[in-house]
């Protein structure tokens, strides 16, 4: 880990916190609007924090503290809730880590080393990409380890990595073994002993057993190295569990895969190393006497050792042989050997390949004969285990050669097709196999529900289809063609890329082809991906799986292909034919998809164990946006009034536009615009200080929630606009104004005719039952919901039918109508506030205490928070393979659609108001200077 990262880890949080604190203090006391506040946060504060986050991961609790500061500031200015750290750093770190891992250069190699270090540190039989391993990470694992913190951050959002067939990126033990994590049947036990096991190098039960897996070995001999001290507690617990389960573990004779005999490496060979070798069909022990050199590098000279015999029993100490029939080498003169004993050595010559290093230890004295103080080499494994291990076949590292041979074949397994489509593709491949120059015409189609003939699939479904026409040079037996339906996130570019991929699939190897397509975006994406593989622009490309598959097919088949742009619907027969085939394919049931395991990259990312074929940055944005939508939808204040019917009958796109007035990201602002937006948001989110809210928060101060004006009903959020029949007045004025606005926009109907028509509409009727009993599941959209700021889903159609068929004018009429409604409501609220203030003065109501949380509220809020996560996951799944938010509606119950759309375009008046740009230059510069 670099020194720079450790330095940033120590000081980074304090630097980030200082920047946020200064920005908040600077803006808090300034008379700026919500847009000005948002601009300074996004353009000044966050870019500086993002720079620090390049080599830093903010923990969840630390990020929440920073979020709270900025949220409080922003809510102080506009009453909106927004996020900062978790969203931005997830996008940045996820994209950068995946890009570094998949690189095939020095950056990729160093990233692999860091991941392997983390794998070793975690000491887990499973890959660290697995969610279970990520969840077990503790502070000791993530401390000063940027990679561990990134994986932990992504794991909390359900994002994990999956290795492909190209390369085993991380070396985690595999095989038919009993790892201690699962063998003990207790994850807590493994987590408690994880560090002790790592220090001893033990992960599997077989490491504690002998060669034929029939009994355990003494704990001092674990790993073929000598140990001293008291027997470890974890060893006792494992052996006790092993003895209880011993009978059913190994039903067949097996050899322990943890062979403690090592192959001899010329780079590591040393004198006096103990080896075992085969001589005249007999295993003998010996110490290396000479380092092989020159022509003798393939042979080995050892000094023969035998086991010490005591009372006729062979024991573990090894002693030099004094001479036997195996001796076949004359000793060389060595100053370190006493001359008189030089000729008594029993030296044996053997082959290097026939010898293996055995684990021994040197020890002074004996436990049975304390008077024996000689230094002796002692075997750490039994002679029986040595015989078994020696005869076991050597396992050489053939992974690299296997992978190299697999890379050229991986492209054959990239596509997953149904049996009928697979048969069709193979037949076409056989037909074009004899041709080396082929022309392909390709096209992709994106069909929505309205374009489909068969409407079984339901409203809102989007299908993609591809069409390919094959025209080999010299082929005159007609047109070869195919069509299919494809999967993945719906987009026209993706369909075009899929058609090109299918053309490469059907092309013979070592051929030269031309692919004609009418998609300039597909050609540009392929060109950028092929020529700038590891560049910055490539990281942001969408449809990365399809582009990678195209590159793999091209390289695996050694195809040379040219992409030719043709005009759309220009009368080119074959191109028009492919367009027809693509639309036909979208209606078919034959599906084709990509198997990401066989893409020539090291890892793919998954969300909740599902492969996602979209850019991880875009997915992270989507996940965070849906997360905030779910939080809003599951608020106590929203659940009380937003039932299933109202959800479906509300046009949430127009509601969002009218709610915000002018686009929040625009640079046109003033106090009136900010105040109007604040009022609309408070009405919708039940944040106006009505007596019901004040009574719940401070019951000691506000003893009753009855309206002080009419003294008949409780003053909830909408009562100020319904008090003494004012809702009837508002409704009447609104319909009258709607007719006037319609006539001003060129309606040919009379005002009375328009008024009469809208008075009959159900969405403009006042629901007396809702005012008395509150909302229930059977209630539908009514005028009460319009007072909240919701737009009826079919109100635009009603305007087109009753007033004018012009869609553009209809939208303007609708927006002006709602602006008039909010103006009436604001005037009424201003009048109500003056009366309440006068009443509070007369009753001397003054208090500065903090609010009191109602127990009923706490209970319901806890239930909503518990279900919010599952609702969010359902929405992500439901919308995963469709264009986000293409249909209006806020449906959680049946269609599982949660919907809040960004603001719409600015009006012509706003576009022309360039002279009203907000004046925050001085404030912005003050914040910039501080950094």
Sheet holding 159-163, edge to edge: 159-163, 603-607, 610-611
Domains, the chain, ordered by start: 3-85 (no CATH), 86-164 (no CATH), 174-252 (no CATH), 262-379 (no CATH), 406-601 (3.30.420.10), 713-848 (no CATH)
CA distances from 236 to 197, 217, 243, 248 (A): 13, 12, 11, 20
Higher pLDDT, residue 614 or 779: 779
Residue 60's pLDDT is 67
Dist CA 393 CA 634 (whole Å): 63
Helices (H), 79-124: 85-102, 106-122
Residue 405's pLDDT is 42
564 contacts 515 by C-beta, under 8 angstroms: yes
The residue-averaged pLDDT of 181-188 equals 85
**Confidence check: pLDDT of 894 > 60:** no
The residue-averaged pLDDT of 721-738 equals 92
Residue 404's pLDDT is 44
Reference 374, options 313, 311, 320; nearest CA is 320
Structure-token pair, residue 668 = 């046109």
Dist CA 674 CA 662 (whole Å): 9
Structure-token pair, residue 574 = 């074959």
**Confidence check: pLDDT of 840 > 50:** yes
**Confidence check: pLDDT of 877 > 70:** no
Q: Strand, coil or helix: what is 471?
A: strand
Sign of CA dihedral 481, 483, 489, 495: positive
Strand partners, 275: 286, 357
**Confidence check: pLDDT of 482 > 80:** yes
Structure-token pair, residue 585 = 């394919």
Maximal CA-CA distance, the chain: 132
Element (H, E) at 369: none
Dist CA 912 CA 880 (whole Å): 39
Structure-token pair, residue 472 = 């080999």
Dist CA 826 CA 514 (whole Å): 66
Residue 55's pLDDT is 67
Confidence of residue 529 (pLDDT cuts 50, 70, 90): confident
Rg (CA), the chain: 38
Strand partners, 823: none
pLDDT (tens digit, 9 = 90+) per residue, 571-599?
Answer: 788 888 898 998 888 888 888 888 888 88
**Confidence check: pLDDT of 483 > 50:** yes
Structure-token pair, residue 498 = 């899929």
Q: Which of 318-332, 394-408, 805-819 has the lowest mean pLDDT?
A: 394-408
CA distances from 854 to 631, 694, 697, 858, 861 (A): 20, 12, 7, 6, 11
Residue 913's pLDDT is 40
Q: What percent of the chain has pLDDT over 90?
A: 15
Query: Of 211-215, 293-297, 334-338, 851-855, which has the strongest mean pLDDT?
Result: 211-215
pLDDT (tens digit, 9 = 90+) per residue, 646-676?
Answer: 999 999 989 988 988 887 777 777 888 888 8
**Confidence check: pLDDT of 919 > 70:** no
Q: Which of 139-143, 551-555, 742-746 has the lowest mean pLDDT?
A: 139-143
Q: Which residues contact 842 (CB under 8 A, 6 or more apart)?
A: none
DSSP state of 599: S
Sheet holding 415-417, edge to edge: 415-417, 591-594, 480-486, 463-472, 437-447, 512-517, 560-565
Residue 253 neighbours by CB distance under 10 Å: 8
**CA atoms in the 13 A half-sphere facing the CB of 385:** 26
Alpha carbon 874 to its chain's center: 16
State the chain's mean pLDDT as an integer: 78
DSSP state of 381: S
DSSP state of 216: B
Residue given tokens 């209630």 in the structure block: 779
pTM above 0.75, yes or no: no
CB burial of 360-382 (b: ≥16 within 10 Å; e: otherwise) equals: bbeeeebeeeeeeeeebbbbbbe
Element (H, E) at 467: strand 463-472
Strand partners, 377: 318, 362
Confidence of residue 924 (pLDDT cuts 50, 70, 90): very low
Q: Strand, coil or helix: what is 665?
A: coil
**Confidence check: pLDDT of 32 > 80:** no
Residue 534's pLDDT is 58
454 contacts 438 by C-beta, under 8 angstroms: no
Dist CA 440 CA 658 (whole Å): 49
**CA atoms in the 13 A half-sphere facing the CB of 747:** 24
Element (H, E) at 671: helix 671-684
Sign of CA dihedral 576, 579, 584, 589: positive
Dist CA 500 CA 614 (whole Å): 19
Work out the burial of residue 846: count CB atoms within 10 Å of its CB; fewer than 13 is exposed, 13-18 middle, 19 or more buried: exposed
**Residue 696 φ then ψ, to 5°:** -70, -35
Query: Of 8-17, 363-372, 749-758, which has the strongest mean pLDDT?
Result: 749-758
**Confidence check: pLDDT of 740 > 90:** yes
Residue 782's pLDDT is 92
Residue 763 neighbours by CB distance under 10 Å: 19
Structure-token pair, residue 602 = 């090291």
686 contacts 697 by C-beta, under 8 angstroms: no
Sign of CA dihedral 746, 749, 755, 760: negative
Three-state DSSP string of 21-69: HHHHHHHHCCCCCHHHHHHHHHHHHHHHHHHHHCCCCCCHHHHHHHHHH
Tell me the residue length of the chain: 931
Dist CA 755 CA 736 (whole Å): 6
pLDDT (tens digit, 9 = 90+) per residue, 454-468?
Answer: 444 445 578 899 999
Residue 148 neighbours by CB distance under 10 Å: 24
Residue given tokens 């037949």 in the structure block: 427
CA distances from 713 to 663, 700, 772, 775 (A): 37, 20, 9, 16
Sign of CA dihedral 148, 149, 150, 156: positive
The residue-averaged pLDDT of 817-829 equals 93
Reference 835, options 622, 646, 691; nearest CA is 691
First to last CA, the chain: 27
Residue 853's pLDDT is 62
Residue 876's pLDDT is 66
CB burial of 93-126 (b: ≥16 within 10 Å; e: otherwise) equals: bbbebbbbbbbeeeebeebbebbeebbebbbbbb
DSSP conformation letters of 193-253: HHHHHHHHT--BGGGGB-TTSSSBPPGGGGGGS---SSPPHHHHHHHHHHHHHGGGT--S-
Residue 897's pLDDT is 34
The residue-averaged pLDDT of 215-239 equals 81
Higher pLDDT, residue 305 or 323: 305
DSSP conformation letters of 536-570: HHHHT-S-HHHHHHHHHHHHHHT-EEEEEE--TTS
pLDDT (tens digit, 9 = 90+) per residue, 595-641?
Answer: 888 888 888 888 888 888 777 888 888 888 888 888 888 888 888 88
Confidence of residue 787 (pLDDT cuts 50, 70, 90): very high
Structure-token pair, residue 796 = 């635009």
Residue 795's pLDDT is 92
Dist CA 780 CA 662 (whole Å): 29
Residue 310's pLDDT is 76
Pairing of strands 437-447, 512-517: parallel
Reference 527, options 538, 543, 516; nearest CA is 538
């Amino acid at each position: 880990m670099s020194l720079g990262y450790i330095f940033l880890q120590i000081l980074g949080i304090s630097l980030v916190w200082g920047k946020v604190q200064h920005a908040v203090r600077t803006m808090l006391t300034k008379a700026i609007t919500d847009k000005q506040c948002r601009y300074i946060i996004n353009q000044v504060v966050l870019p500086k924090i993002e720079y620090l986050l390049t080599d830093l991961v903010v923990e969840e609790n630390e990020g929440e503290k920073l979020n709270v500061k900025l949220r409080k500031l922003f809510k102080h200015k506009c009453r909106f809730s927004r996020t900062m750290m978790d969203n931005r750093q997830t996008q940045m770190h996820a994209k950068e880590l995946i890009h570094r891992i998949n690189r095939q250069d020095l950056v990729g190699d160093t990233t692999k080393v860091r991941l392997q270090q983390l794998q070793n540190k975690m000491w887990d039989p499973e890959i660290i990409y697995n969610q279970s391993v990520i969840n077990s990470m503790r502070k000791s694992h993530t401390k000063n380890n940027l990679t561990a913190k990134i994986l932990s951050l992504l794991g909390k959002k359900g994002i994990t990595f999956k290795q492909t067939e190209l390369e085993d990126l991380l070396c985690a033990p595999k095989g038919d073994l009993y790892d201690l994590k699962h063998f003990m049947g207790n994850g807590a036990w493994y987590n408690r002993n994880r560090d002790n096991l790592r220090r001893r190098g033990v992960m599997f039960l077989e490491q504690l057993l002998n060669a034929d897996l029939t009994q355990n070995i003494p704990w001092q001999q674990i790993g073929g190295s000598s140990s001293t001290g008291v027997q470890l507690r974890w060893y006792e617990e494992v052996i006790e569990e092993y003895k209880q389960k011993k009978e059913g573990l190994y039903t067949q004779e097996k050899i322990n895969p943890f062979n403690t005999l090592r192959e001899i490496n010329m780079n590591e060979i040393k004198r006096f190393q103990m080896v075992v070798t085969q001589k005249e069909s007999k295993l003998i022990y010996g110490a290396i006497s000479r380092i092989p050199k020159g022509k003798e590098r393939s042979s080995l000279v050892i000094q023969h050792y035998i086991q010490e015999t005591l009372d006729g029993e062979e024991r573990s100490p090894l002693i030099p042989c004094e001479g036997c029939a195996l001796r076949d080498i004359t000793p060389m003169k060595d100053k370190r050997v006493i001359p008189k004993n030089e000729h008594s050595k029993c030296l044996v010559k053997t082959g290097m390949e026939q010898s293996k290093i055995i684990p021994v230890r040197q020890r002074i004295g004996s436990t049975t004969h304390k008077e024996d103080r000689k230094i002796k080499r002692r075997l750490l494994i039994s002679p029986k285990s040595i015989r078994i291990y020696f005869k076991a076949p050597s396992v050489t590292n053939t992974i690299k050669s296997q992978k190299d041979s697999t890379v050229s074949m991986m492209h054959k397994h990239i596509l997953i097709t149904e049996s009928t489509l697979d048969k069709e593709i193979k037949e076409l491949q056989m037909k074009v196999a004899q041709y080396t120059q082929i022309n392909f015409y390709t096209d992709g189609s994106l069909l929505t529900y309205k374009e489909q003939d068969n409407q079984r699939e339901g409203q809102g479904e989007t299908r993609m289809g591809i069409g390919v026409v094959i025209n080999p040079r010299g082929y005159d037996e007609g047109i070869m063609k195919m069509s299919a339906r494809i999967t993945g996130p719906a987009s026209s570019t993706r369909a075009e890329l899929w058609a090109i991929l299918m053309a490469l699939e059907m092309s013979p190897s070592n051929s030269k082809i031309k692919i004609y397509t009418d998609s300039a975006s597909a050609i540009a994406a392929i060109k950028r991906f092929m020529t700038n593989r590891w560049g910055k622009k490539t990281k942001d490309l969408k449809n990365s799986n399809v582009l990678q598959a195209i590159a793999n097919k091209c390289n695996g088949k050694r195809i040379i292909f040219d992409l030719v742009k043709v005009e759309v619907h220009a009368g080119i027969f074959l191109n028009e034919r492919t367009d027809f085939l693509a639309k036909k394919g979208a209606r078919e049931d034959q599906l084709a998809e990509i198997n990401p395991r066989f893409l020539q990259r090291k890892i793919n990312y998954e969300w909740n164990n599902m492969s996602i074929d979209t850019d991880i940055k875009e997915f992270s944005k989507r996940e965070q946006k849906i997360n905030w939508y779910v939080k809003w939808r599951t608020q106590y204040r929203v659940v009380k009034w937003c039932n299933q019917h109202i959800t479906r009958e509300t046009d949430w796109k127009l509601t969002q536009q009218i709610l915000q007035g002018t686009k929040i990201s625009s640079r046109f602002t003033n106090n009136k615009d900010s105040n109007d937006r604040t009022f609309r948001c408070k009405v919708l989110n039940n944040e106006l200080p009505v007596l019901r809210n004040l009574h719940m928060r401070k019951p000691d101060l506000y003893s009753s929630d009855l309206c002080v004006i009419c003294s008949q009903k409780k003053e909830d959020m909408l009562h100020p606009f319904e008090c003494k029949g004012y809702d009837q007045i508002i409704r009447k004025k609104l319909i009258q104004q709607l007719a006037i606005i319609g006539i001003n926009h060129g309606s040919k109907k009379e005002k009375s005719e328009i008024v009469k028509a809208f008075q009959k509409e159900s969405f403009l009727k006042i629901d007396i039952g809702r005012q008395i009993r509150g909302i229930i599941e059977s209630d539908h959209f009514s005028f009460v919901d319009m007072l909240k700021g919701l737009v009826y889903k079919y109100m635009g159609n009603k305007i087109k039918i009753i007033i004018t068929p012009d869609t553009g004018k209809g939208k303007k009429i609708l927006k002006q109508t709602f602006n008039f409604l909010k103006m009436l409501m604001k005037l009424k609220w201003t009048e109500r506030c003056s009366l309440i203030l006068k009443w509070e003065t007369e009753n001397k109501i003054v208090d500065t205490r903090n609010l009191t949380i109602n127990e009923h509220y706490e209970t319901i809020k806890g239930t909503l928070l518990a279900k919010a996560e599952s609702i969010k996951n359902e929405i992500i799944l439901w919308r995963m393979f469709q264009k986000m938010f293409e249909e209006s509606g806020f449906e959680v119950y049946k269609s599982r659609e949660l919907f809040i759309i960004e603001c719409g375009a600015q009006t012509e008046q706003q576009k022309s108001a360039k002279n009203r740009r907000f004046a925050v230059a001085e404030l912005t510069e003050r914040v910039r200077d501080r950094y």
